[in-house]
Amino acid sequence: MKHKYSIEHIKRALGTKGYKFFENGDYNVNIVGVRNSLTKNKVTNAFDDLITLCYKKDGNWEYHEFDCTTDPGTHYMDSPILENTGCAILKPGQYPKSHKIRKHQGRYEALGQQNNVTVYRDNNRDDIYNLNSENTDTGLFGINIHRATKFAGKKSSQVDKWSAGCQVIASNDDWTKFMKIMRKARATWDNNFTYTLLDSDDIPETWL
């Protein structure tokens, strides 16, 4: 399967931002979301972003990409859970030890938010993500990393209610692979995972 990016691209982008890239030991995972800058902040309701994984296995580098959304779907953009505050859109950045393996909504194991992240708040319901640095919120908002469809072999095509700000992997098979790696990382290190979110503009076309 052809990937859009490589370990070198992700490492270089993190280095440019001054973010940490984990290289020491096996299963010291770098979980990096890449938000699609080409959509120009339009609410596409599509799984048009990526979650990437870079880590070593038996001393050799492994790299994976999973189609995902890093943005809320149309449902929660139009009807925010916090009606007066607005929908949460995760702000790009590196969030140390932000997540741990635990049950998502009490139903299945996922990566649940355990430490503060920063989100933009959008409450004008105009089908555009308003990424205004003056309207941010930092705290615990349940910005989890989880799956969409529960059916093996299936892949969700529309975000809809799958995300109110969570980072959501579209394919159930991709999710199974993702969590297998997370559990191995937990067993090798501990139950603390750093999540980094980039914009695709952070990886210029000239690098590709």
Cα 49 to Cα 71, 81, 88, 128, 188: the distances in Å are 9, 23, 17, 16, 28
Tell me, what's the pLDDT at 178?
98
Instruction: Provide the CA 161 distance to its chain's centre, in angstroms.
Output: 16
Instruction: Spell out where 37-160 has E strands.
Output: 49-57, 60-69, 87-90, 93-104, 108-113, 117-122, 136-139, 145-147
DSSP assignment of 60-93 equals EEEEEEEEEESS--HHHHHS-SSTTT-EEEEPSE
Tell me, what's the pLDDT at 132?
86
Query: What is the amino acid identity at position 45?
Result: N
Q: Which residues contact 196 (CB under 8 A, 6 or more apart)?
A: 14, 19, 30, 31, 32, 33, 93, 94, 95
pLDDT tens-place values along the chain, 208 residues long: 789 999 999 999 999 999 999 999 999 999 999 999 999 999 999 999 999 999 999 999 999 999 999 999 999 999 888 877 899 999 999 999 999 999 999 999 999 999 999 999 998 889 899 998 889 999 999 999 999 999 999 999 999 999 999 999 999 999 999 999 999 999 999 999 999 999 999 999 999 9
Rounded to whole angstroms, the Cα distance separating 137 from 143 reads 12
- Domain-wise residue ranges, the chain: 7-207
Q: Are 199 and 48 in contact (CB under 8 A)?
A: no
* Count of CA atoms in the C-beta half-sphere (13 A) of 97: 5
Tell me, what's the pLDDT at 145?
98
Tell me, what's the pLDDT at 205?
94
Tell me, what's the pLDDT at 168?
98
> Quick one: DSSP state of residue 172?
H
CA pseudo-torsion sign 135, 31, 76, 127: positive
Rounded to whole angstroms, the Cα distance separating 137 from 199 reads 19
* Of 103, 108, 120, 87, the residue nearest 197 (C-alpha): 120
Tell me, what's the pLDDT at 133?
86
